[in-house]
Chain A
Amino acid sequence: MADLPPAWAPYTALLGSRLHAQTAYRAGFVMDLFANVGIGLLEFVEIYVILTHTSTLGAMSASGALLVFALANIGFSLADLAVGHVDNLPTYLRAGTLDTFLLRPLPALAQLVTSDVALKRLGRTGVALIVLAVATPTAVAHWTPAKVVLLALTPVTGAAIFSALFVMAAAMQFWLVDGGELANSFTYGGSYAASYPASVLHLPLRVLFTFVVPAAFTAYLPALLLVEQPGPAGLPSWLGWLTPLVAVLAWGIALLVWRAGMRRYTGAGG
């Protein structure tokens, strides 16, 4: 069996089929892309209007706050692109799609994740990238190799953390039938909290959106390191270096919750 296709072949085929399906309806795709630019702008309007009235926010300069906003939105939109559709788990359950996944020789979660890739989300990524390009030169003064690596890594770790949140939120829906909106507190709520300096939040909320829902790790903590600012109470800026570790940890927990959810679905647990 020397010519057995490689282990990743199933996934490239699944993703390829999704890309094929999207490019098949080009006009619809372009419209979806523009709609997502609109969503990106909707997110941007709030911080833009606020910054027309004040030059600092949460002890950060305007450009620093915009850097946080941009990093959080890039990370979230990439996660949304890759795994955002796991939100639809209840629909998949009702249509029996999950049963179909279980009849194939691949892990169900891997099939669920690769069952769609929403390229239209790049519209929102684009808006955030422009904000990043405008804010970074003003916000970051002294460039060091470590900062370059951190800036390049943050969208990736941010996307990983938000993806883990999406998977956790989806897995919760094995228990919370009809309760999908609660799961949104973690994903969309996390993204919203991540878009602003965590220093604007009161201590309990700040702790919640840093150590329970690790939103602050996706943008604010790395941004503190980039602009060389100390963090507020409870959030020393060196935490930003732990971001990759937090991403791995978040995925570990997400996979455990997913496994428990699957055990519930197949009737093996609880």
Chain B
Amino acid sequence: MSSSELLVQARSLQRDFVVRRRAGRLRRTRHVVSAVAGVDLDIHAGEAVGYIGANGAGKSTTIKMLTGILVPTAGTVRTCGLDPVRERRNLARQVGVVFGQRSGLWWDLPLVESFRVLAALHRLPSHTWAPRFDELVERLELTSFLATPVRQLSLGQRMRGEVAAALLHRPRLLVLDEPTVGLDVLSKERLRAFLREERAERATTLLLTTHDMGDIQRLCERVLVVDHGAIAYDGTLPGLVARVGAERVLVVDLAEPVAPLGGITHTQLVGVEGGGLRQRLSFSPDLTTAAQVLAAVSQRADVRDLAVEEPDVEEVVRRLYAASGR
């Protein structure tokens, strides 16, 4: 990994904002707030990084500095080897960005028109963008609503359109800000499956912020947690879960109803459904493993199916913040 190219390199990255508050009837006081305070960040080509943290922890500000929308107050950042603000337009050719709450599409035109305009914006000759467009349409299943004006699309349809739009110019780095927020389970899963395929095929580097642990679990091998503008954790998801002592839950579907599976070492029975057909056991990953728990269960019942549930992002972040004394 360390031998591959650095796509994002940030050193002591800082961004301050001046906030004016009303103090009394006419007076206003100025406060300087650091939204990002000393972030060091290396992302290598081909990595998939999940960037999580509470609201207001500095995620969006960091992304804006990486993509050239905001100038850092202090520190340095290079994205794809470029100075993001000064070489913004060159950078735009190599980066695709989707902000979940904003649209990069033309709301009053049929979806397909947005791709034509974007291809022209990036000055892509038709023989390079047309095959890419066909590929994205097929893999994101856009065909049925290509002729629909963007404002009439459902959120899930629009988001697939946004992701396709961000990938049309084959960027090396894809930045997704809350890509799955508000989507139903099926839409989320479809988008994640597509992103996995895209990464497998083109080794696109991925940086995403999310509130959904499922996104991280399915897409990212590396997690960054930001807290009050600084990186509070950088490592794998299981490592993060172990560090905060958050518990995973093993869900087992059994062949026939069995008495509650209490008393298995290092586990706690947290749910019994269907008269004992489905049971849920929580365990701490640093005390035991899913395999050990499954082995113990298998001695007492015939397991037909199983799933491991991860703790949710808010919970993990809360615990991490608590552990660092916030």
Contact = CB atoms under 8 A, between A and B. Distances in A.
Interface of A: 1, 3-5, 7, 9-10, 12-14, 16-17, 20-21, 24, 95-97, 99-100, 102-107, 266-268
Interface stretch (B61-69, B226-234, B281-289, B315-323): B61-69
A268 B71 contact: yes
A97 B103 CA distance: 8
Given A17-B109, A267-B70, A100 B104 contact: yes
A20 B113 contact: yes
B139 interface: no
18 contacts: A3-B125, A5-B123, A5-B124, A10-B123, A13-B119, A17-B106, A20-B109, A21-B108, A97-B102, A100-B99, A102-B68, A102-B88, A103-B104, A266-B69, A266-B70, A266-B85, A267-B73, A268-B71
Given A4-B125, A21-B108, A103 B120 contact: no
A163 B113 CA distance: 28
A105 B117 contact: no
Nearest to B122: A105
A9 B120 contact: yes
Contacts of A9: 120, 123
B89 A106 contact: yes
A7 B89 CA distance: 14
Contacts of A104: 92, 121-122
B280 interface: no
Contacts of B154: none
Contacts, number: 85
B151 to A, nearest CB: 11
Contacts of B102: 95-97, 99-100
Contacts of A10: 120-123
Interface in B122-177: 122-125, 127
Contacts of A14: 117, 120-121
A3 B124 CA distance: 9
Contacts of A106: 89, 121
B97 interface: yes
Contacts of B71: 266-268
B92 A105 contact: yes
Nearest to A107: B89
B65 to A, nearest CB: 9
Contacts of B103: 100
Contacts of A267: 15, 70-71, 73
Interface string B77-120: 00000000100111011010101011110101100010011011
Given A14-B117, A95-B102, A99-B99, 20 more contacts: A5-B123, A10-B120, A13-B119, A13-B121, A20-B113, A21-B108, A96-B99, A96-B101, A96-B102, A100-B99, A102-B68, A102-B88, A103-B67, A103-B95, A104-B122, A266-B69, A266-B70, A267-B71, A267-B73, A268-B85
